[in-house]
A and B are shown apart, each in its own frame.
Chain A
Amino acid sequence: MTALAHTRYMTLTHLRQLWRQPWWIAVSLVQPVIWLLLFGALFQSVADLPGFGSDDYITFIAPGIVIMTAFFSAGWTGMGLLEDLDRGVTDRLLTSPISRPALIAGRVTQQTITMIIQSLIMVGIALIAGASFAGGVLGIAGLIGIAALISAAFASLSLAFALVTRQEETLIATLTFLQLPLSFISSTLIAPDLMPSWMEKLANYNPVEWAVEAGRAAALGEGGFDVVVTRAGLLAGFAAVAAWLALKAMEKYQRSL
């Protein structure tokens, strides 16, 4: 009970911090829209390649971009925590009766709520741009649920990483290093059949690919329900491990004091 209440207080605190940064809101809303429209236009002719299997590229990449945005922005969750560590906010909270998991869960929840709102906007823009989601409302809900899962997982990993390294530069460098490869070793932008076979094999171990497959299967209503369920299960397991790591990292941080 206490843990839930405290998570709620911290989530609201972090949401309010974002709400007070109009530039952040503007950029984080505009960026995925630009990706959607830019990639949609840039790779339009990819859909004409033999073996792509679909001729409607915007419909194909819309779920991919939703997942990519979730994964990209969740990676930055650790930055806010690093700032709090630096200013002594975290230490002050640790001397209060705050539930320890709430310190992690509050940020993950804030990130995930923000992500859900972003996803809804992206889906709306995609529809306006001519995408059609055969999965219907339920399929879109499935896509957003999957985006929330991968967001929670990478937000937790980012927090764990921040707590262990305690350096903004290290977090920035690591994210820059990982984000594009993890996105490209997946079917975010291209049909899996068109990937080199070694990449396709590698993609099987990529959580981003799990999310893209499941999100696309749900939103487009193709590929089968079992794809959604198995990938969602894998992602849930991944998120649970990431959350556990973040909690352990918080304990490690406190032991180092």
Chain B
Amino acid sequence: MASRAIEAEGLVKEYPGDVRALDGLSFAVEEGTVFGLLGPNGAGKSTAVRILTTLARADEGTATVAGHHVSADAASVRSTIGVVAQRGGADREATARENLRLSGRLHGIRGSELERRIDELLERFGLSEAADRIVRTFSGGMERRLDIGLALVHRPRVLFLDEPTTGLDPEVRADMWQEIERLGRDEGITVLLTTHYLEEADRLAADLAIVDRGRVVASGSPDALKRELQGDAVQVELETELNGARAGLDRLNGLREVTIDGRVLRARADDGARAVPAVLATLDSHGVGVASVTVARPSLDDVYLRYAGRTFGEADQNDHVEANR
């Protein structure tokens, strides 16, 4: 129990207009790990972060961060966490150094200890040269690095990163990924990361929870989640109608969940490479022409499809309007 850095239990949050942003969200994060909350826009990830960082209050449910209750002991939570919100929130009319100094002072760090820590963070995030420049003149990547630096001044035990790479160039995103990996590895800090990029969660998170419409629909390590799908995805693009081949496919050993969507045939196989010849032979024997065949290891996208009942791209589009209200 003591090794839980974050525990959320049955969190519910409703906003005026019958918007149920969280609908019984529960998850737990082990200390010293990078945990990902993955879901499309509007799934409730940011609402969860707002509650866990004491910014908002849950209507129902309880949560603790570093052992402190988020509403009963909000002050203790605030002094143990670092937060990088989606919108950042650095003072853009101040310099990087002034921003860091204010952050440190609000956490009760002062004098030479604070100045040392500021220099350390500026160095670490490659901002030493820009330390005394007004933040307004920073590039997107620089500002994001400063945001993370601001959240780390007081050496928090738990760091919240809400969509840390949204809106960044691919290049800058790759840098940011390295930075986040380094945080988890070198500092033993617990990181809660929200993202709507599947690849980001796959790469960074040791464990993750897939969130859809305010609930966790699946959780585990990315590998375990993919393993649960049992097998590779086989996709065949057909040139002609399936005719009577369907029954033959259903009888094939090691092939499951055969579905047909227009002229695209999808199935799961324990070993995709081995299943393909048999599939092709069956199709051929029924005179069905084949345009292409792909075999893919399961991706988080497949996991999402399986648990949320829709593809990730669809959910992201549909919920986008709502999220931007």
Residues of A participating in the B interface, judged by any CB pair closer than 8 Å: 5-6, 9, 13, 16-17, 20, 87-98, 254-255, 257
Contact = CB atoms under 8 A, between A and B. Distances in A.
Interface string B22-56: 00000000000000000000000000001001111
B83 A95 contact: yes
Contact of B106 (A16, A90, A98, A257): A98
Q: Which of B79, B93, B103, B105 has the most CB of A within 10 A?
A: B93
Nearest to A94: B55
Given A91-B55, A97-B79, A6 B86 contact: no
Given A97-B78, A97-B106, A91 B134 contact: no
A95 B86 contact: no
Given A17-B94, A255-B57, A96 B103 contact: yes
A16 B78 CA distance: 26
B55 A254 contact: yes
Contacts of B85: 88, 91-92, 95
Contacts, number: 69
9 residue pairs, one from A and one from B, having the closest CB atoms? A88-B87, A92-B89, A88-B89, A257-B56, A95-B83, A95-B53, A17-B93, A97-B78, A89-B89
B134 A20 contact: yes
B88 A88 contact: yes
Nearest to B99: A13
Nearest to A2: B108
Contacts of B102: 9, 13
Nearest to A102: B106
A87 B106 contact: no
Interface string B74-91: 010011010101111111
Contacts of B106: 6, 9, 93, 96-98
Nearest to B103: A96
A225 to B, nearest CB: 43
A16 B55 contact: no
A91 B47 CA distance: 13
Contacts of A98: 106
Nearest to A10: B102
B92 A87 contact: yes
A16 B57 contact: no
Contacts of A257: 50, 55-56
Nearest to A89: B89
A87 B93 contact: no
B18 to A, nearest CB: 16
Interface of B: 50, 53-57, 75, 78-79, 81, 83, 85-94, 98, 102-103, 105-108, 134, 150
A186 B75 CA distance: 46
B214 to A, nearest CB: 16
B190 to A, nearest CB: 16
Contacts of A97: 75, 78-79, 106-108
Contacts of B55: 91, 94-95, 254, 257
Contacts of B87: 87-88, 91
A17 B103 CA distance: 16
B134 to A, nearest CB: 7
Given A17-B91, A87-B88, A93-B106, 4 more contacts: A16-B93, A95-B78, A97-B79, A254-B56
A61 B139 CA distance: 50
Contacts of A87: 87-89, 92
Contacts of B81: 95
Contacts of B103: 96
B91 A89 contact: yes
Contacts of B134: 20
A17 B135 CA distance: 12
A128 to B, nearest CB: 34
A165 to B, nearest CB: 16
Given A9-B106, A88-B89, A91-B87, A16 B54 contact: no
Contacts of A13: 91, 94, 98, 102
Contact of B94 (A16, A88, A91, A94): A16
A89 B50 contact: no
A178 B88 CA distance: 35
A257 B52 CA distance: 12
B136 to A, nearest CB: 10
A6 B104 CA distance: 11
Contacts of B89: 87-93
Contacts of A16: 93-94, 98
Nearest to A80: B93
A98 B59 CA distance: 24
Contacts of B75: 97
